């Protein structure tokens, strides 16, 4: 058995209530366990994690990998490499590719490409409807057979209430969650940014917060009458957060995720007409940002996700109303979360790691991920929380560069990412093969 | 190079302060002093147009490019004429569907034109912020000649100049902007300019065209034109596009005209010296009746004249400072 000893790091594993300085042992592609009890003589690889956080590999339930169809923006291989550079060892990729991920074969293609890339784990999220057209249910059961871990038409909402109702009902037999991009499409036609004082100032088409609120309210009610599992993607408005809070109180099976840009940036950023601030749902107001943070603090929002949405420079370098929505998210997930949530004291590292490990693993039904329980998958993220660095889009491993955070001076970065017991990302210096002089 | 030397007639009053901008992207970015400085410069250029030889050598050897991605014969002609009076070379580039549909981007197009030696690009585009995007990617001066529903700074300036000349001041006046404020770049530039210079601005039109969020720009909002008319020193009547009716933002042109059209009866409700502005082209009979458009309160033709002077001033101030090349005179 090939073993890895991760020495002296602060191990945070919220799945077992662990937060202690100890050694973590991995054997082949499994977790052996935490502490001396699991010591295996001399390890084949020793990683000196002193002063760093050792977390179960982070999981991002919301990324766009663009393959097939838009390989100039990203491929499964480049997206999975970008994930590792950001400390994310597992991603769930959205089905809005060309063609859409709406068949068993399409799901299997994603799984196969990810295996070939040998970077982060990639799980496909199947489309809810055939061709993501919103008319008929896709073959959800066969998608699961092909490896799909959840369903969404993301990129667009499931607009039809009756289709959404059926999806929530039908997916119950598969025990898979329906993820929804919540937006009433008729209210966002021509929208470029949040509707309000800023869109008025700039003369840009607005997307009202109510477009999201109304859909969230509708879908929570549909989840209630069907007993299905509903997950609200990239929640962005104060009222939506309130609705999820109310829904949970009533015992409805609803979860929600928040993206770093929605708790760090407001729509005032669009005053520069920079397309790096154009996303969907759009950047909202300071009140919405405060409500999203409050929702994260009180547990209403249980997950963090990036909505990693890469676009090639020639597409983003268009007039603002013609540029596509979305930003590269994976490689800035940790530092922007530190900046927006940990440094201001809203959340602790334990909270954040729970939102990026146990909670997403539970959402997607990944029993061997997001935990250091003995026997779990040997996926580990080692985080350097102290060394300051500057975000440089030119150094992204993603094929795209569209970030609003270029030039930000930040702290918090994945130093090492291990997938299936293999060190697949490392900033260097702390990983030592047996026989090398390891630092004592 | 002073304006006095250029016009060689009566020297204009020295402006209170200078304007250091490289581009004219909007009135939101300008200070009160800068706006007055441009208006002062425009007034001195207004004199040039009344001479027999209507040309000064200020921009000799400079190249002004009209980069219009949206049709506007009036604005383009006004800029061309202004540039010619300053002795610049003027080139029009009307980007129709042809070039952009071949995959060339807006930025590529502008960079090509810059490579041909353009000193100033006058940009008209249907996307808000398009001139701002160019300003980040090219070296020459950019004048925003209208970007979507965002701003139309030279129109705002010419409206300000028209008001200042007619009323002798702007501070303390109450100005009503009537019509489709939501989609109007003219409205936004007027709002910024007027409020910066101390006027009160009342926005008037149906709520579907005059959203409440406009209060955030420092304006009062009114839905009844008849109610506010007695308070107005100036009314600026904006054009209504039939497209908005097709979008369902108001029920019919006839209904719009009934509640928001300026007719003789409404003019008589306002103070006797009501100044009436309308950025062309107007739909006679919709926003205003012909007798009002051609009546004693109307400053519509004054606006056209002042537009030329304002554009000369802006081109002069921008084009004169591209110091990559020596001044040709
Ligand atoms: Zn989405």
Confidence of residue B321 (pLDDT cuts 50, 70, 90): low
Out of A116-125, A216-225, A315-324, A418-427, least confident range: A315-324
Q: How confident is the model at residue B96, as a pLDDT?
A: 64
Tell how far the Cα of A281 is from the centroid of ligand 1, in angstroms. 7
The verdict on a CB contact (< 8 Å) between B188 and A203 is: yes
Nearest residue to B141 via CA among B114, B112, B108, B116 = B114
Q: What are the pLDDT digits (tens) for A114-128?
A: 999 999 999 999 999
Q: How many angstroms separate the CA atoms of A281 and A285, rounded?
A: 12
Q: Which two tokens stand for residue A348?
A: 């602790």
Contact A277, A404 (CB under 8 A): yes
Give A144 or B245, the one with higher predicted confidence. Answer: A144
Question: Band of the pLDDT at B323, cuts 50, 70, 90?
Answer: very low
Contacts of B110 in chain A (CB under 8 A): none
A391-433 confidence digits (pLDDT tens): 999 999 999 999 999 999 999 999 999 999 999 999 999 999 8
Residue B195 in contact with partner chain A when CB distance is under 8 A: no
- Which residue, among A159, A282, A283, A264, has the nearest Cα to A222 in the 3D structure? A159
Report the residue count for chain B.
Answer: 329
- A320/B129 Cβ within 8 A: yes
User: Across chain B, what does the average pLDDT equal?
Assistant: 88
pLDDT band at A340 (very low <50, low <70, confident <90, very high): very high
**Is the pLDDT reported for residue B51 higher than 90?**
no
- Picking from A165-169, A394-398, B242-246, B276-280, which range would have the lowest pLDDT averaged per residue? B242-246
Q: Would the CB atoms of B216 and A204 count as touching at under 8 Å?
A: no
Catalytic residue, chosen from A13, A73, A153, A307, is A307
pTM: 0.92
Taking residues B106-132, what's their average pLDDT? 92
Q: Residue B1's pLDDT band (boundaries 50, 70, 90)?
A: very low
Question: Taking 70 as the threshold, does the pLDDT of residue A174 lie above it?
Answer: yes
* pLDDT category of residue A435 using cuts at 50, 70 and 90: low
Residue B284 token pair:
């006679």
Higher-confidence position of A375 and B106: A375
State the smallest CA–CA distance between residue B89 and chain A in angstroms. Answer: 28
CB atoms within 10 A of CB A116: 11
Asked whether residue B131 carries a pLDDT value surpassing 50, the answer given is yes
CA atoms of A189 and B30, how far apart (whole Å): 33
Task: Please determine, for residue B27, whether its predicted confidence score (pLDDT) is greater than 90.
Answer: yes
Out of B127, B147, B214, the one facing A322 most closely (by C-beta) is B127
Query: Is the CB of residue A58 less than 8 Å from the CB of residue A85?
Result: no
3-state secondary structure of B277: strand
Token pair in block for residue B55: 């040309």
What percentage of chain B carries pLDDT values higher than 90?
A: 71
Measure in Å the smallest separation between the Cα of A318 and chain B Cα atoms.
Answer: 7
Q: Ligand 1 center to residue B104 CA distance, Å?
A: 29
pLDDT one-digit tens code per residue, A300-313: 999 999 999 999 99
* Mean pLDDT in residue range A166-188: 98
Mean pLDDT confidence for A203-221: 98
Residues 170-229 of A with CB under 8 A from B: 195-197, 199-204
The answer, for A285 touching chain B at a CB cutoff of 8 Å, is no
Percent of chain A with pLDDT over 70: 99
CB contact, 8 Å: A162 with chain B? Answer: no
Strands B174-178 and B141-147: unpaired
CB-closest option in B125, B182, B211 to A319: B125
DSSP for A255-276 reads: EEEE-HHHHH--GGGGGG--GG
**pLDDT higher than 60, residue A8:** yes
Query: Cα separation of B207 and B67, whole Å?
Result: 34
Q: Assess whether pLDDT exceeds 90 at residue A238.
A: yes
Whether ipTM > 0.90 holds is: no
- Please give the distance, rounded to the nearest whole angstrom, from the Cα atom of residue A307 to the centre of ligand 1: 7
pLDDT band at B21 (very low <50, low <70, confident <90, very high): confident
For residue A422, count other CB atoms closer than 10 A to its CB: 17
Which of the given ranges, A421-425, B242-246, B250-254, has the highest pLDDT on average? A421-425
Q: What confidence category does residue B99 fall into, taking pLDDT thresholds of 50, 70 and 90?
A: low
Q: Which of A155, A75, A68, A136 is nearest to A108 (CA)?
A: A68
Pairwise CB contact (< 8 Å): B130 & A272: no
| A chain contacts of residue B26, beta-carbon cutoff 8 Å | none
B280 touches chain A (CB under 8 A): no
pLDDT at B72: 86
Q: Check residue A401 and give its pLDDT.
A: 97
Banded model confidence at residue B329, pLDDT cuts 50, 70, 90: very low
CB-based contact, A159 to chain B, within 8 Å: no
Distance CA A356, CA A1 (A): 29
Q: What percent of chain A has pLDDT over 90?
A: 97
* Nearest residue, CB atoms, B133 vs list A195, A201, A273: A273
CA A276 – ligand 1 centroid, Å = 16
Assign B87 a pLDDT band (cuts: 50, 70, 90).
very high
Beta bridge partners of B63: B89
Predicted confidence at residue A111, as pLDDT, reads 98
Rounded mean pLDDT, B216-233: 96
**Chain B interface disruption, residue of A189, A194, A203, A311, most B CBs within 10 A:** A203
Tell me, what's the pLDDT at B93? 85
pLDDT tens digits, A32-90: 999 999 998 899 999 999 999 999 999 999 999 999 999 999 999 999 999 999 999 99
Q: What local confidence, expressed as pLDDT, does residue B164 receive?
A: 98
The fraction of chain B above a pLDDT of 70, given in percent, is 88
Active site residue A175: no
What is the distance in A from the centroid of ligand 1 to the CA of A62? 8
Do residues B191 and B177 lie in contact, with contact meaning Cβ atoms separated by under 8 Å?
Answer: yes
What is the A309 CA–ligand 1 centroid distance (Å)? 9
Q: What is the pLDDT of residue A149?
A: 98
Compute the mean pLDDT over every residue in chain A, rounded to the nearest whole number.
97
pLDDT at B54 over 80: no
Chain A touched by B117 (CB under 8 Å): no
A249 Cα: distance to centroid of ligand 1 (angstroms): 25
Name the residue among A200, A273, A318 with its Cβ closest to that of B216. Answer: A200
pLDDT digits (tens, 9 = 90+) for A278-303: 999 999 999 999 999 999 999 999 99
* Whether pLDDT at B6 is above 70: no
pLDDT band for position B13 (50/70/90)? very low
The count of CB pairs under 8 A between chains A and B is: 59
Q: Give the pLDDT score at B248.
A: 87
Q: How far is the CA of B9 from the centre of ligand 1 (A)?
A: 64
pLDDT at position B52 is 74
B8-11's contacts with Cβ under 8 Å and 24+ in sequence apart are B8/B56, B9/B47, B9/B51, B10/B47
Residue A110 pLDDT grade (very low, low, confident, very high; cuts 50, 70, 90): very high
Mean pLDDT on B267-285: 90
Query: Is it the case that residue A195 has pLDDT exceeding 70?
Result: yes
What is the distance in angstroms between the CA of the first residue and the CA of the last residue of chain B?
A: 9
Contact assessment for residue A381 and residue A13, using Cβ atoms and an 8 Å cutoff? no
Which 137-166 residues of chain B touch chain A by CB within 8 A? 147-151
Instruction: Flag if B128 and A321 touch (Cβ within 8 Å).
Output: yes
Write out the two tokens for A419. 């997938």
Instruction: Determine the pLDDT at residue B19.
Output: 67
Q: Taking the CB of residue A418, how many other CB atoms lie within 10 A of it?
A: 28
Tell me how far CA of residue B113 lies from CA of B98, B106, B108, B118, in angstroms. Answer: 16, 11, 9, 6
CA distance A208 to B205: 21
Cβ of A319 within 8 Å of Cβ of B129? The answer is: yes
The verdict on a CB contact (< 8 Å) between B148 and A199 is: no
What residues does A53 pair with on adjacent strands?
A: A10, A383
Q: What integer pLDDT is reported at residue B18 of this predicted model?
A: 54
- Is the model's pLDDT at B327 over the cut of 50? no
The predicted-structure confidence for B134-189, as pLDDT tens digits, reads as follows 999 999 999 999 999 999 999 999 999 999 999 999 999 999 999 999 999 999 99
Instruction: Note whether B125 contacts A: Cβ–Cβ < 8 A.
Output: yes
Ranges of H-type helices in A13-99: 76-85
pLDDT, tens digit (0-9, with 9 covering 90-100), for A141-152: 999 999 999 999
Q: Do A319 and B106 touch (CB under 8 A)?
A: yes
What residue of A is the nearest CA neighbor of B105?
A: A318
């Amino acid at each position: 058995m090939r073993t890895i000893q991760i020495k002296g790091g602060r191990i945070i594993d919220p799945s077992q209530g662990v937060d202690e300085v100890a050694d973590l042992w991995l054997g082949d592609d499994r977790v052996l366990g935490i502490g001396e009890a699991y010591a295996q003589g001399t390890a084949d690889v020793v990683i000196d994690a002193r002063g760093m956080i050792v977390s179960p590999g982070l999981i991002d339930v919301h990324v766009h990998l663009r393959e097939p169809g838009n390989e100039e923006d990203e491929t499964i291989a480049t997206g999975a490499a970008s994930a590792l550079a950001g400390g994310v060892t597992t991603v769930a990729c959205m089905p809005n590719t060309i063609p859409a991920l709406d068949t068993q074969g399409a799901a299997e293609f994603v799984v196969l490409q990810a295996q070939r890339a040998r970077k982060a784990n990639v799980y496909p999220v199947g489309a809810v409807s055939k061709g993501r057209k919103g008319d008929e249910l896709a073959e959800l059961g066969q998608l699961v057979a092909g490896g799909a871990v959840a369903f969404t038409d993301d990129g667009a909402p499931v607009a039809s209430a009756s289709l959404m109702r059926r999806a929530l009902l039908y997916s119950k037999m598969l025990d898979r969650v329906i993820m929804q991009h919540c937006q009433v499409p008729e209210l966002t036609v021509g929208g470029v940014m949040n509707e309000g004082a800023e869109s008025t100032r700039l003369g840009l088409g607005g997307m009202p917060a109510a477009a999201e609120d109304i859909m969230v309210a509708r879908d929570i009610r549909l989840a209630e009458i069907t007993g299905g599992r509903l997950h609200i993607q990239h929640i962005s408005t104060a009222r939506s957060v309130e609705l999820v809070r109310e829904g949970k109180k009533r015992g409805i099976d609803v979860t929600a995720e928040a993206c770093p840009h929605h708790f760090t940036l407001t729509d005032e950023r669009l005053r520069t007409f920079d397309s790096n601030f154009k996303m969907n749902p759009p950047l909202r107001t300071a009140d919405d940002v405060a409500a999203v943070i409050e929702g994260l603090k009180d547990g209403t929002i249980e997950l963090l996700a990036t909505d990693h949405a890469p676009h090639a420079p020639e597409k983003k370098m268009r007039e603002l109303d013609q540029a596509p929505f979305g930003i590269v998210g994976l490689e800035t997930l940790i530092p922007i979360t530190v900046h927006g949530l940990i440094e201001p004291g809203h959340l602790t590292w334990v909270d954040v790691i729970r939102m990026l490990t146990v909670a997403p693993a539970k959402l997607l039904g990944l029993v061997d991920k997001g935990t250091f329980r003995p026997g779990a998958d040997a996926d580990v993220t080692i985080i350097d929380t102290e060394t300051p660095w500057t975000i440089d889009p030119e150094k992204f491993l993603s094929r795209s560069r569209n970030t609003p955070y270029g030039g930000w001076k930040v702290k918090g970065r994945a130093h090492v990412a291990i997938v299936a017991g293999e060190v697949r990302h490392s900033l260097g210096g702390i990983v030592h093969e047996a026989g090398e002089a390891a630092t004592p | 190079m002073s304006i006095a030397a250029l016009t060689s007639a009566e020297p204009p009053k020295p402006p209170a302060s200078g304007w250091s901008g490289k581009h004219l992207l909007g009135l939101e970015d300008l200070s009160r002093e800068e706006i007055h400085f441009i208006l002062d410069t425009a007034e001195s250029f207004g004199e040039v147009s009344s001479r027999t030889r209507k040309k000064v050598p200020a921009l000799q050897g400079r190249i002004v490019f009209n980069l219009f991605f949206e049709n506007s014969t009036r604005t383009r002609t006004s800029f061309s004429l202004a540039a010619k009076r300053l002795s610049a070379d003027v080139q029009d580039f009307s980007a129709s569907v042809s070039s952009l549909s071949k995959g060339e981007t807006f930025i590529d197009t502008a960079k090509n034109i810059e490579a041909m030696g353009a000193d100033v690009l006058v940009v008209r585009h249907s996307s808000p912020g398009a001139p701002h995007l160019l300003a980040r990617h090219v070296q020459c001066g950019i004048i925003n000649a209208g970007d979507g529903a965002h701003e139309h700074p030279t129109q705002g300036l010419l409206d300000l100049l028209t008001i200042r000349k007619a009323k002798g001041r702007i501070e303390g006046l109450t100005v009503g902007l009537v019509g489709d404020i939501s989609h109007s770049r003219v409205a936004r530039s007027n709002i910024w300019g007027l409020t910066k210079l101390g006027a009160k601005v009342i926005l008037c039109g149906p709520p579907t065209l005059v959203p409440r969020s406009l209060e955030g720009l420092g304006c009062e909002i009114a839905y009844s034109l008849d109610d506010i008319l007695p308070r107005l020193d100036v009314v600026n009547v904006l054009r209504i596009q039939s497209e908005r009716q097709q979008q369902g933002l108001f029920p019919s042109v006839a209904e719009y005209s009934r509640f928001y059209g300026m007719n003789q009866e409404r003019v008589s409700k306002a103070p006797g010296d009501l100044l009436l502005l309308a950025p062309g082209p107007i739909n006679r009979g919709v926003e205003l009746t012909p007798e009002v458009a051609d009546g004693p309160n109307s400053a519509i033709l004054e606006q056209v004249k002042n537009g030329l002077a304002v554009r000369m001033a802006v081109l002069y101030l921008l084009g004169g400072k591209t110091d990559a090349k020596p001044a040709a005179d």
